[in-house]
Amino acid sequence: MLTTYREVLRIPGAFRFSAAGFVARLPLSIIGLGIVVYISGVTGSYAVAGLLAAAFQLPAAGCALWTSRLVDRHGQHRVIPILVTVHAIGLIAFILTVESGLPVIVQALAVAVAGASQPAIGAIVRARWAYTIGRLGQQSSPMLRSAFAVESIVDELIFTIGPLLVATLAVRLSLASPLVLAAALTVIGGLLLSAQRATEPPASSTLPRATEHRGSAIKLPGLLPVVLGAMGTGFVFGSFEVSAIAFTVRAGTPAAGGYVLAIWALGSLVGGLWFGSRHWRIRLPTQAMLCCLVLALVLIPMPFIRSVPALAIATFISGAAVAPALISGFTLAERLVPATLLTEGLTWSNSGLALGFSAGTALAGIAIDSSGTTMAFVLPIAGAAMAVIVFASTRRLLIASVQPYHEGPPGAPLNADPIPGPAPGAFRDDAR
């Protein structure tokens, strides 16, 4: 299994840009929690802390689509250094406004600047994978799923390490130190990534007009269903996280909530390693639908669980189905957009996940307060079912919309193979 990942990471430049991407997006798991810990510690108010966290997160989600278009249009090496610089200045300015006791509205404006300028590093790195692997030709197209699996594994590591860093630094150094670290990591990782020109996708402004799609990526056929499917998957994450924490609290073991979520991440890590190392014969839209169906099925036992150990076991099993759903969704999005809009297209999927996560968190809280965790654990099933319905009802559109792979110069659209699977002839012709 690990042989596949070794082959992917041996692609010239791949390990370097993936490692730089890890550093640049580690702050994703630091900033939100860091703001809550910092502000609640300084003011004693979780309401103000939540307000300022939202002041960061909402501009980050909304402006990522616009900044990703800038990256596609003008190139990573031109846009990323500007974004990470403004982002770091915004975070430091936010800390200064808090330390100076300025009004909350001023603090919110400063942290909003930081959010609006946060680059969509996950989408940027996945765009590099698609471009780099695409240059190798059709024989190497199966590597794309494995490459996206690598990034999903990196995401799991990020959201395991980040909260630990926040807790440690806030206690041992200062409440603001996690945000200072986040600013530094964003700049360092962003500059290291943008300096690697050999693996950078060409800017769409340098490509012939014939290869350039005009307008937003969301107008492309098939991308909207993928975003809706991502919303369903994100709804699973948000509703499950809140439900699991509430379950452990009501069971009298609140500390177990963190361990349960760590088991969720571990299960996803194992599932991603397995899924990404295999080559599948199923068309990608069908694959995405089936992965979400499996996720829905393994979540069914959740409302019937009555003990924390049973929850831990069920969490590991359901977590193993998470990464395949994410990997297939990102790969499908990559196959629906031209190279000129690749970063924006992948960012749309990320935004769908974020919106679904927010909705799942909110609705799970309401369900817990009104009906308890049993009803709340129904919500993740509903989210996965929503994704299944979306992919099933739009399957023909998605199959018709994926672009056939063709070899071409580095500037040509590279994301066209309908399935990141084996080379033609490796399996039966009817497998497609």
pLDDT in tens, the chain (432 residues): 567 677 888 888 889 999 999 999 999 878 877 887 888 788 887 677 777 877 887 788 778 888 888 888 888 999 999 999 999 999 999 999 999 999 999 999 999 999 999 998 988 898 888 888 877 764 445 677 778 778 877 877 787 777 778 878 888 899 999 999 999 999 999 999 999 998 888 887 665 554 445 567 777 888 899 999 999 998 998 788 778 878 887 888 876 776 787 788 788 878 887 887 777 778 888 999 999 999 999 999 999 999 999 999 999 999 899 888 988 888 888 788 876 777 777 778 878 887 787 778 778 878 887 888 888 899 999 999 999 999 999 999 998 887 654 333 333 333 323 223 323 233 233 333
Query: How many angstroms separate the CA atoms of 365 and 191, rounded?
Result: 39
Structure tokens at 201: 């996708």
Query: How many angstroms separate the CA atoms of 280 and 425, rounded?
Result: 13
The reported pLDDT for the residue numbered 430 is 34
Query: How many angstroms separate the CA atoms of 152 and 268, rounded?
Result: 9
Query: How many angstroms separate the CA atoms of 4 and 262, rounded?
Result: 26
Give, in degrees to the nearest 5, the angle at Cα 395 between 428 and 318: 85
Q: Please answer whether residues 391 and 224 qualify as being in contact, where contact means their C-beta atoms are separated by less than 8 angstroms.
A: no
The model's pTM is 0.69
Query: How many angstroms separate the CA atoms of 223 and 102, rounded?
Result: 43
Query: How many angstroms separate the CA atoms of 318 and 356, rounded?
Result: 18
| Residue with tokens 């499908």, as numbered in its chain | 332
Query: How many angstroms separate the CA atoms of 87 and 105, rounded?
Result: 18
Query: How many angstroms separate the CA atoms of 232 and 292, rounded?
Result: 9
Please give, one letter per residue, the 3-state secondary structure of the chain. CHHHHHHHHCCCCHHHHHHHHHHHHHHHHCHHHHHHHHHHHHHCCHHHHHHHHHHHHHHHHHHHHHHHHHHHHHCHHHHHHHHHHHHHHHHHHHHHHHHCCCCHHHHHHHHHHHHHCCCCHHHHHHHHHHHHHHCCCHHHCCHHHHHHHHHHHHHHHHHHHHHHHHHHHHHHCCCCHHHHHHHHHHHHHHHHHHCCHHHCCCCHHHCCHHHCCCCCHHHCCCHHHHHHHHHHHHHHHHHHHHHHHHHHHHCCCCCHHHHHHHHHHHHHHHHHHHHHCCCCCCCHHHHHHHHHHHHHHHHCCHHHCCCHHHHHHHHHHHHHCHHHHHHHHHHHHHHHCCHHHHHHHHHHHHHHHHHHHHHHHHHHHHHHHHHCHHHHCHHHHHHHHHHHHHHHHCHHHHHHHCCCCCCCCCCCCCCCCCCCCCCCCCCCHHHC
Please name the residues in contact with 92: beta carbons below 8 A apart, sequence gap of 6 or more. Answer: 180, 183
Query: How many angstroms separate the CA atoms of 318 and 302, rounded?
Result: 9
Q: Phi/psi of residue 199, each to 5°? A: -105, 10
Domains in the chain, start-ordered, CATH in brackets? 15-206 (1.20.1250.20), 207-425 (1.20.1250.20)
The reported pLDDT for the residue numbered 215 is 63
The reported pLDDT for the residue numbered 53 is 79
Going from the C-alpha of 161 to that of each of 105, 168, 194, 354, 402, the distances in angstroms are 31, 11, 24, 20, 36
Query: How many angstroms separate the CA atoms of 294 and 286, rounded?
Result: 12
The reported pLDDT for the residue numbered 301 is 94
Query: How many angstroms separate the CA atoms of 431 and 334, rounded?
Result: 21
The reported pLDDT for the residue numbered 407 is 37
Residue 159's closest CA among 268, 308, 16?
Answer: 268
